[in-house]
């Protein structure tokens, strides 16, 4: 795989100027999506802001911010839905916004999501720009913006916050900022269970760097002389590795202690939601059941094509020799999303943080004439806005 590069990154002001076209395009796409949602909702006598801030998972985050942990709902079939399933960083930020402003917890979640989505777009650009150049970076951001489920980036959900932390952690790894990478991985681990993927990316990259440092040799077989500052770099790398898992491990262990069920207590909480990791067996059965009747078979074909596309994009990323931490991160996010045993309708949303899957498409678009790529992205952006409005006005959770 591609060796990590540690070339100097641009200054913050220079980096912002470099990312400005991508961020402007991203903001335009998100504004279009919100406009479509508000118009569609008004036509159906629904409140678009309520759809964004006070339904489904957003309600659970608000309850954590307002009441703390311990709230649960017992269903008629015996399932127990506990708010311990939701990681704490977003509720903490909602509580902080409410404490320093007149905004409600739900308003705070919406504000955090809006700010985090811009930070995530910048992080996606930074990673893609570092690997493939500025034009590919702009295309990657716009592709992430026009995802069919892109409206979730504007909801009081944790996807935007997590993607921002993950993208900047990966960028820190790619540029050799190990302590920053570890601290951001820690924060990502306090945001969603899939924070494990960020931890794994940091650890794999760090171990690979240690191996390269220890195995470098001169042509005659003698080890190369230590580089200036190498001990300090190794120390920062080791510190980054120590920091990275503390968020995920800390919350999971706290849940186990809080419930009295030991280190695996969080898995019991997830089981109460009928959620777990079964290698994709339940999802496979769900897809297969679609082919037992018509027209549900059409949905089955769409699901098969969707999964095949995700696999193809990942394999293409491997063939294009994406940096190892990106491949590790993307592989784990994808596996955890596709192989979860429940909430099949939410899988597109769960895949949204796997933004490196879009890099092969971004690279292809970057090589096409500007007018053609703009036309393609514009058309997809309009379709995404309409679909997002339709999706959120439906009955099921995203």
- pLDDT band, residue 5 (cuts 50/70/90): very low
Residue 1 above 60 pLDDT? no
- Dump pLDDT digits (tens) for 233-255: 899 999 999 999 999 999 999 99
What's the CA gap between 103 and 97, in Å, rounded? 7
The percent of residues above 90 in pLDDT, for the chain, comes to: 74
Helix, coil or strand: residue 124: helix
- pLDDT band, residue 394 (cuts 50/70/90): confident
- Dump pLDDT digits (tens) for 129-156: 999 999 999 999 999 999 999 999 999 9
pLDDT of residue 154: 95
- Dump pLDDT digits (tens) for 183-212: 999 999 999 999 999 999 999 999 999 998
Strands (E), the chain: 72-74, 80-82
- Dump pLDDT digits (tens) for 14-31: 888 999 999 999 999 999
Measure CA of the first residue to CA of the last residue in the chain; give whole Å: 35
Provide the sign of the torsion angle of the four alpha carbons 149, 153, 155, 157, taken in this order. positive
Could you tell me the CA-to-CA distances from 33 to 154, 204, 384 in Å, in that order?
Answer: 9, 37, 7
pLDDT of residue 215: 58
Residue 349 above 60 pLDDT? yes
| Helix, strand, coil in percent for the chain, rounding step 5 | 75, 5, 25
Instruction: Calculate helix-pair angle for 230-243, 178-189, nearest 10 degrees.
Output: 0
What's the CA gap between 104 and 145, in Å, rounded? 27
Helix, coil or strand: residue 226: coil
- Local structure of residue 2 (DSSP, 8 states): B
Residue 229 above 90 pLDDT? no
pLDDT of residue 216: 54
pLDDT of residue 6: 45
Where on the phi/psi map is residue 133: left (φ > 0), alpha (ψ -120 to 50), or beta?
A: left
| Partners of 223 in beta bridges | 217
Helix, coil or strand: residue 56: coil
Q: What is the chain's mean pLDDT, rounded?
A: 91
Q: Compute the C-alpha angle 20/26/31, nearest 5°.
A: 125
Residues with Cβ within 8 Å of residue 393, at least 6 apart in sequence: 37, 40, 41, 44, 46, 51
Residue 3 above 90 pLDDT? no
CB atoms near residue 185 (< 10 Å): 33
- The DSSP-derived string for 266-308 is HHHHHHHTT--B-TTHHHHHHHHHHTTSTTHHHHHHHHHHHHH
What's the CA gap between 264 and 252, in Å, rounded? 8
Closest CA to 53 of 45, 62, 44: 62
pTM of the shown model: 0.93
**How many angstroms from the chain centroid is the CA of residue 153?**
10
What's the CA gap between 147 and 385, in Å, rounded? 9
Comparing 122-126, 196-200, 341-345, which segment has the lowest mean pLDDT?
Answer: 341-345
Calculate mean pLDDT across residues 111-140: 97
pLDDT of residue 2: 46
Residue with tokens 């009081």: 156
- Dump pLDDT digits (tens) for 247-287: 999 999 999 999 999 888 999 999 999 888 888 888 898 88
- Dump pLDDT digits (tens) for 47-104: 999 999 998 999 999 999 999 999 999 988 888 899 999 999 999 999 999 999 999 9
Residue 221 above 70 pLDDT? no
């Amino acid at each position: 795989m591609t060796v990590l590069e540690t070339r100097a990154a641009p200054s913050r002001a220079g980096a912002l100027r470099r990312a400005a076209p991508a961020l402007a395009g991203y903001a335009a796409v998100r504004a279009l999506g919100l406009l479509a949602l508000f118009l569609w909702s008004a036509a159906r006598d629904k409140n678009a802001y309520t759809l964004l801030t006070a339904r489904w998972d957003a309600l659970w985050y608000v309850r954590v911010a307002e009441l703390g942990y311990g709230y649960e709902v017992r269903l008629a079939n015996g399932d127990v839905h506990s708010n311990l399933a939701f990681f704490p960083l977003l509720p903490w930020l909602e509580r902080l916004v409410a404490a320093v402003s007149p905004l409600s917890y739900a308003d705070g979640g919406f504000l955090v999501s809006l700010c985090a989505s811009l930070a995530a777009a910048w992080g996606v650009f930074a990673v893609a720009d570092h690997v493939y150049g500025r034009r590919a970076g702009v295309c990657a951001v716009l592709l992430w913006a026009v995802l069919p489920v892109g409206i979730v980036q504007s909801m009081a959900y944790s996807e935007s916050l997590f993607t921002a932390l993950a993208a900047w952690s990966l960028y820190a790894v790619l540029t050799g900022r190990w302590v920053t990478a570890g601290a951001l991985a820690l924060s990502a681990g306090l945001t969603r269970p899939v924070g494990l993927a960020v931890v794994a990316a940091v650890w794999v990259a760090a171990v690979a760097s240690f191996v390269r440092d220890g195995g470098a040799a001169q042509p005659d077989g003698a080890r190369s002389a230590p580089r200036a500052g190498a001990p300090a770099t190794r120390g920062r790398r080791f510190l980054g590795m120590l920091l990275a898992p503390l968020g995920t491990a800390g919350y999971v262990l706290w849940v186990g202690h809080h419930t009295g069920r030991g280190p695996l207590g969080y898995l019991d909480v997830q089981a109460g939601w009928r959620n777990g990791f079964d290698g994709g067996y339940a999802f496979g059965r769900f897809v297969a059941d679609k082919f037992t009747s018509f027209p549900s078979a059409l949905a089955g074909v769409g699901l098969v094509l969707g999964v095949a596309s995700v696999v193809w994009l990942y394999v293409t990323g491997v063939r294009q020799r994406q940096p190892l931490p990106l491949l590790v991160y993307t592989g784990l996010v994808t596996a955890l999303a596709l192989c979860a045993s429940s909430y099949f309708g939410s899988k597109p949303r769960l895949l949204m943080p796997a933004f490196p899957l879009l890099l092969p498409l971004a690279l292809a678009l970057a090589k096409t004439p500007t007018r053609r790529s703009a036309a393609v992205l514009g058309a997809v952006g309009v379709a995404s806005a309409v679909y997002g409005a339709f999706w959120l006005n439906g009955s099921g959770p995203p």
